[in-house]
Amino acid sequence: MDTLQSYDELPYDRLPFPESEPDFLAAIASLHGFGAADARNARVLELGCAQGGNLIPMAARYPDSEFVGIDLSRVQVEEGQAFIAQAGLANIRLLHGDIAALPDDLGEFDFIIAHGVYSWVPDAVREALLSACRSLLKPHGIACISFNVAAGWRTYGGIRRLLLQHDRPGLCPMQRVEQARSVLAATAFEDERLQKEADYLKNASASYLFHEYLSDINKAHSFGQFVADAGRHGLRYLGEAGPRRARVALENDWGLSAEARYERWLEAEAGLDDALDTRFRRALLVRHDAGLPQPQQAGLLKGMAFSAELASEDELDFAEACEQHFTTIAGDHLPVSHPLLKAFLVVLAGACPQVMDYGRAVGHALELAREYGYRGEAHAEFLEALLDFVQMQGLRLHTFIPQRMSASADSPRASSLARAQAAMPAWPVTNAFHVALDLDEWGRRLLASMDGSLSADALGRKLRKEPGEAGIQATPQQAAWHVQRYLEFFRRQGLIG
Ligand SMILES: C[S@@+](CC[C@H](N)C(=O)[O-])C[C@H]1O[C@@H](n2cnc3c(N)ncnc32)[C@H](O)[C@@H]1O
């Protein structure tokens, strides 16, 4: 096949996926006792990379690593290649090609990512994908493969079946999306979960709605089937890149062989899918000969580093355990009870975008919590609560502390990637933690102008001079206030020093 028409006609959304960022993968692997490569000096392959929206920001973040992306949609690959040229990145290549017919000279990789591919390709391509992971992974390499899970899709498949009943494949993709949206608008679902999803889909991107709900192929897999298929290709399940609302705890497992313990873990994972109605997994796989993986160990968090972009509107109680909430930048409202964990999160949020190692962060947290009456230590119970919060992706795990951008005295400077993304409305701007930011028009214009040659005042004047509606309709003082607000936001996102 020369190209994939459906993605040429309605390209995917160019999004970064924080769960697939190589240092995050290495951090999750560490929690399972598995030593992965250093993301700063690694080879990374993405299969089904679309325009490179996920891979390109990684390449900018790790200039000494090498990135290769492959996708069968010619239009998407060409768009990505043009963007790479514009951003001036030399350590990334996007290739137009088929996962089922990969070039022989790719070499081996420390990380292989296939996000949003496994469930959406024919069986032969799925087999080729697993086979490529085994043959192209280095001995301690990690593959991250996401897929739709049968447990959850038993419910959500109802929406897909309904939309396909009314679909007219002869129409162009956007007409089909419009048709699907009108079916959603005219339908009231009895099941609350379905109604919630339908409401979400009414405003979701056309591309997501089309490729998830109207595509020819969307095959959900049980966890057990996925693990068995990976096993046939010499790959083992290592863990999950999340986020997840619960995790497996193996009890009474003393005396079990490592093999039996592993099997019990896998059974428990499958059971969790049924209990949670899991509909999507981001599974990590390793080579069969890399050793037998084990569940996450909370104690291993002591060797990690952390960052968090969080806020809480609660009057936090650092002395006693009581449920309070923190909100992530993605808008998730997450519960926290352990008093020391609340202090730990406050310390990290206050330091954002700094990454802090465990010792330093917990030291500050103990100081803060004790000031308000906490009498405990950072014991096992705290580490278990921290691991739960990590699982929910309320904070971010790192294996190392990244170098901070140097602060610009007068004239803020954003990276060439951030400026290139900001200048193109179709591309999301990615923050230092590989998260897409929801930037308005002024924010984009401002960021695109931050090449280090303009002071904050000059940036304010420039924005006011933009023609027509694009210009800030404001007094010089108001414009200066807007600019300061954006600068503070960009600083917290690690986009400027
Ligand atoms: C659902 S999109 C996911 C894109 C991106 N990874 C993401 O998650 O945003 C699936 C991608 O896989 C690509 N694809 C499908 N079949 C392929 C194949 N046989 N070889 C290479 N790429 C393929 C499509 O062109 C599309 O870009």
Measured from the Cβ of residue 457, the count of other Cβ atoms closer than 10 Å reads 13
Structure tokens given for 206: 């056309």
Distance 113 CA to ligand 1 centre (A): 11
Are residues 197 and 94 both part of a single domain?
no
Are 46 and 145 part of one and the same domain?
Answer: yes
What is the full DSSP assignment across 131-198?
A: HHHHHHEEEEEEEEEEEEBHHHHHHHHHHHHHHHHH--TTS-HHHHHHHHHHHHHT---SSHHHHHHH
Check whether residue 363 and residue 431 sit in a common domain.
Answer: no
| 85 and 18 in a common domain | yes
Q: CB under 8 Å to 449, separation ≥6 — which residues?
A: 419, 459, 462
Based on the fold, state whether residues 282 and 420 are members of the same structural domain: no
Atom of ligand 1 nearest to the CA of 100: 19
- Residue 368 confidence (pLDDT): 97
Range of the domain at 429: 416-492
Q: Look at residue 404 and tell me if it is in a domain.
A: no
87 and 158 housed in the same domain:
no
Across the range 102-109, mean pLDDT stands at 97
pLDDT in tens, 123-167: 999 999 999 999 999 999 999 999 999 999 999 999 999 999 999
* 351 belongs to a structural domain: yes
> End of a domain among 214, 233, 253?
214
Q: How many residues does the chain have?
A: 497
Whether residue 364 sits in one domain with residue 307: yes
- Rounded Cα distance between 23 and 58, Å, is 10
CB under 8 Å to 493, separation ≥6 — which residues?
309, 353, 431, 432, 433, 437
Residue finishing a domain among 250, 270, 290:
290
Domain count, the chain: 4
73 CA: nearest ligand 1 atom: 25
Nearest CA to 9 out of 75, 99, 81, 69 is that of 75
CB of 80 sitting under 6 A from ligand 1: no
Using most ligand atoms within 8 A of CB, pick from 5, 12, 211 the residue to mutate for ligand 1.
12
Same domain, 92 and 156: no
Can you state the percent helix, strand and coil of the chain, rounding each to 5? 50, 15, 35
In a domain, 429, yes or no: yes
Q: Which amino acid is at 65?
A: S
Find, among 67, 63, 52, 73, the residue nearest to 115 by Cα.
Answer: 52
Model pTM? Answer: 0.95
pLDDT digit string (tens) for 273-296?
A: 999 999 999 999 999 999 999 999
Contact yes or no for 342/318 (Cβ under 8 A):
yes
3-state secondary structure of 223: helix
What does the pLDDT look like over 387-421, one tens digit per residue?
999 999 999 999 999 987 777 668 999 999 999 99
Average pLDDT over residues 348-375: 96
The Cα angle at residue 410 between residues 404 and 416, in degrees rounded to 5: 55
| pLDDT at 442 > cutoff 90 | no
Q: pLDDT tens digits, residue range 295-321? A: 999 999 999 999 999 999 999 999 999
